[in-house]
Amino acid sequence: MSEQVYDVIILGAGPAGLQAAIHAVRRKVSVLVLGKLRKSSTFKAHIENYCCVDGDTGADLLRGGYEKASSAGVEFREEDVTALTEKDGAFALALEGGRTVTGRAVILAMGISRNKLGLKREGEFIGRGVSYCVDCDAGFYRDQTVAVIGCESAAVSSALTLLLYAKSVHLVCERLDVAAELADRMRQSDIIFHEGRRVTEIIADRAVQGIVLDDGTRIELTGMFIVLGAKGAVDLAAELGVALDAETMKYIATDKKQETNIAGLYAAGDICGPPWQVAKAVGEGCVAGLEAAAYAKRMKGA
Ligand SMILES: Cc1cc2nc3c(=O)[nH]c(=O)nc-3n(C[C@H](O)[C@H](O)[C@H](O)COP(=O)(O)OP(=O)(O)OC[C@H]3O[C@@H](n4cnc5c(N)ncnc54)[C@H](O)[C@@H]3O)c2cc1C
């Protein structure tokens, strides 16, 4: 097994992840929460329809959950998970800083990403040079010039992956937001980094031919990967063969215990589908936390 082993590892520090942590730790198991409070969709929201609190901002709600969890013994690490694999009956999670941690049980509580670049011709050229998934499409761009647009761990990891395929890789980012170790790996690589820049135009005929940046730089390329946000639950889960809901194929399917089709792997909150509400997220988080703790104890024979 790799470096540090936890009974329960939770991906996501939003309402679902925090509530899962609070309930899991009360069962006397070791709990690690990965992810960033400020990246929760609750962080900038003003929540008025969640019972038992009044006038709290989303950030206040999250800070309250964080305090409760950490004072009960939950460990937090402000890092994204970049890969998730099953190993020796447990789960190995690669972190953006380069370390690996192992969890006997894992809860996916990474919310949903609704991020598009919002450029005029973006939708028109999906599949003809515009992609949102390096793991799916990198192979189509062997020996070509590509760009990744994004500033978070998934964007930088994607650019590093593309170096294995493409002739040259550009990374366009207004403000880098990753762990120092990942930033160093990127800066020491062959990635051409356009720091402080954003894309203003897609040049295309029948397929994408290039992009223009806000300082007028024109990059000729055949592929642009839009990777805004951390690696999504569905991408990470797909690597493990997690079943999605049969109706939309967009969300993680779970049973009433919030368990996925993979033993020991649970999911809670927005990633399990609508309604996207704090009340639903904390309810599912509670169930997932209790069930994951019980599973980890069974695995330990405790
Ligand atoms: C503008 C706005 C207003 C809203 N208003 C309301 C409202 O009034 N009432 C209401 O009930 N709901 C509201 N919502 C919805 C509510 O915010 C969500 O339902 C809730 O935040 C879902 O919680 P979650 O824990 O599932 O996901 P999120 O809160 O989105 O948390 C996701 C977490 O996952 C982490 N993460 C993502 N990827 C990774 C990775 N690869 N590795 C590790 N961690 C990762 C993030 O860092 C974050 O901590 C609003 C949402 C928005 C955007």
Could you tell me the domains of the chain?
A: 4-113+232-300 (3.50.50.60), 123-226 (3.50.50.60)
Please list the residues that pair with 106 across neighbouring strands: 9, 265
Atom of ligand 1 nearest to the CA of 35: 44
Cβ distance 160 to 186 under 8 Å?
A: yes
CA of 42 to the centre of ligand 1 (A): 5
CA of 149 to the centre of ligand 1 (A): 22
CA of 40 to the centre of ligand 1 (A): 4
| 291 in contact with ligand 1, CB cutoff 6 A | no
Atom of ligand 1 nearest to the CA of 230: 38
Cα pseudo-dihedral 135, 163, 102, 237, rounded to 10: -10
| 80 in contact with ligand 1, CB cutoff 6 A | yes
Q: Going residue by residue through the chain, which has 302 residues, state the pLDDT in tens, using 9 for 90 and above.
A: 447 999 999 999 999 999 999 999 999 999 999 999 999 989 988 887 899 887 778 999 999 999 999 999 999 999 999 999 998 889 999 999 999 999 999 999 999 876 788 898 888 998 899 988 787 688 899 999 999 999 999 899 999 999 999 999 999 999 999 999 999 999 999 999 999 999 999 999 999 999 999 999 999 999 999 988 766 777 788 888 899 988 877 789 999 999 999 999 999 999 999 888 999 999 999 999 999 999 999 999 87
| H-only helix segments in the chain | 15-25, 58-71, 134-137, 153-162, 180-187, 233-240, 278-300
C-alpha neighbours within 13 Å on the C-beta side of residue 269: 26
| 41 in contact with ligand 1, CB cutoff 6 A | yes
| H-only helix segments in 96-228 | 134-137, 153-162, 180-187
- Per-residue pLDDT at 243: 93
β 168-173/145-149 pair status: parallel
Give the Cα separation of 302 and 297 in Å (integer): 5
CA of 20 to the centre of ligand 1 (A): 14
Atom of ligand 1 nearest to the CA of 13: 49
Pocket test for ligand 1, best of 33, 42, 108, 254 (most atoms within 8 A of CB): 42
| 228 in contact with ligand 1, CB cutoff 6 A | no
| 258 in contact with ligand 1, CB cutoff 6 A | no
| 39 in contact with ligand 1, CB cutoff 6 A | yes
- Per-residue pLDDT at 1: 46
